[in-house]
């Protein structure tokens, strides 16, 4: 069975590493300096210290299963490149809406949410920062059981769930609370809880998200969920913070932007989330234009 990692960044490389070590034929799709580095080797640090040779390429190839791990704003490009080239696609991306984009081009789409933590230390070097669990669910067609079997054989924690959409929105709530604040303040996740003034803002964001979830028919204690995740990942630097530090575009539109959009659709007020959206947009503009 051939497995493809489309978007060999931090989390993509971590998944691909585990899957290849389990004996699967794995192709890593990357670009730029990351591709150049991966064509030499992939190094994993942190909880594991290992280096392996991998098959790194610029473009997608035919595969049985493809994990899509690109940034949300590149999902449309991924869908177009993967059309007719893979039997099953599994996305473990941040944000809302990626699955729907992929279903336009691929028959079997699996939604995924992961709490595995990985940071890109340098080109070709990934820090395995925390063990987690990956939740999977069929979004279109059937494929979740196939993907789950691959991850189980790779020694990863995985669970197939009936309502993967709920898991996606729960992750979005966590990201919408932690990521913008860490990016704006340039701090690790733990500071969200440790600094009282920041936590007060985090609570306001989470409570608004909880109201959106409630209007969607989901019961969720968003404040406690965010506190738990921020505490467990205290030393982690959020993906949005890493994007800002590297002068790159963030996924704010697919996270906070989608929460604000859904809130307006349901008639829920989210002024603090709207403020976070505007501030991160402004921060992006100032960085990308400099």
The answer to whether residues 213 and 223 touch, using CB atoms and an 8 Å cutoff, is no
Task: Compute φ and ψ for 119, nearest 5 degrees.
Answer: -125, 140
Task: Note the maximum CA span of the chain.
Answer: 52
Helices (H) and strands (E) in the chain, counts: 12, 12
Catalytic residue among 71, 167, 168, 171: 171
CA 246/CA 249 separation, integer angstroms: 9
H or E stretch including 23? none
- Closest Cα partner for 22 from 155, 144, 205? 155
Torsion angle of the four alpha carbons 209, 133, 92, 59, in this order, in degrees rounded to the nearest 10:
160
CA 82/CA 76 separation, integer angstroms: 10
| 171 assigned to active site | yes
Show which residues are catalytic. Answer: 171
């Amino acid at each position: 069975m051939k497995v493809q990692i489309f978007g060999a960044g931090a989390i993509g490389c971590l998944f691909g590493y585990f899957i290849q070590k389990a004996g699967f034929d794995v192709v890593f799709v990357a670009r730029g300096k990351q591709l150049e580095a991966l064509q030499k080797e992939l190094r994993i640090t942190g909880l594991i210290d290992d280096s392996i040779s991998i098959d790194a390429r610029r473009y997608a190839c035919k595969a049985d299963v493809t994990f899509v791990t690109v940034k949300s704003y590149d999902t449309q490009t991924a869908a177009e490149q993967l059309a007719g080239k893979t039997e099953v696609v599994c996305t473990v991306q941040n944000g809302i809406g990626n699955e729907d984009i992929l279903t336009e081009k691929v028959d079997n789409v699996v939604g995924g949410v992961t709490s595995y933590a990985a940071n890109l230390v340098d080109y070709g070097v990934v820090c395995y920062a925390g063990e987690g669990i990956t939740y999977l669910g069929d979004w279109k067609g059937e494929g979740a059981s196939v993907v789950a079997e691959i991850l189980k054989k790779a020694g990863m924690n995985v669970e197939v769930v009936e309502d993967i959409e709920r898991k996606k929105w729960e992750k979005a709530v966590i990201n919408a609370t932690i990521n913008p604040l860490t990016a704006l303040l340039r701090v690790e996740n733990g500071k969200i809880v440790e600094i009282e003034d920041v936590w007060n803002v985090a609570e306001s964001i989470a409570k608004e998200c909880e109201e959106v979830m409630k209007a969607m028919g989901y019961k969720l204690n968003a404040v406690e969920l965010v506190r738990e995740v921020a505490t467990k990942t205290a030393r982690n630097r959020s993906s949005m913070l890493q994007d800002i530090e590297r002068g790159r575009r963030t996924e704010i539109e697919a996270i906070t932007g989608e929460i604000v959009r859904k809130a307006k659709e349901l008639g829920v007020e989210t002024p603090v989330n709207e403020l976070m959206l505007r501030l991160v947009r402004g921060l992006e503009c100032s960085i990308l234009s400099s």
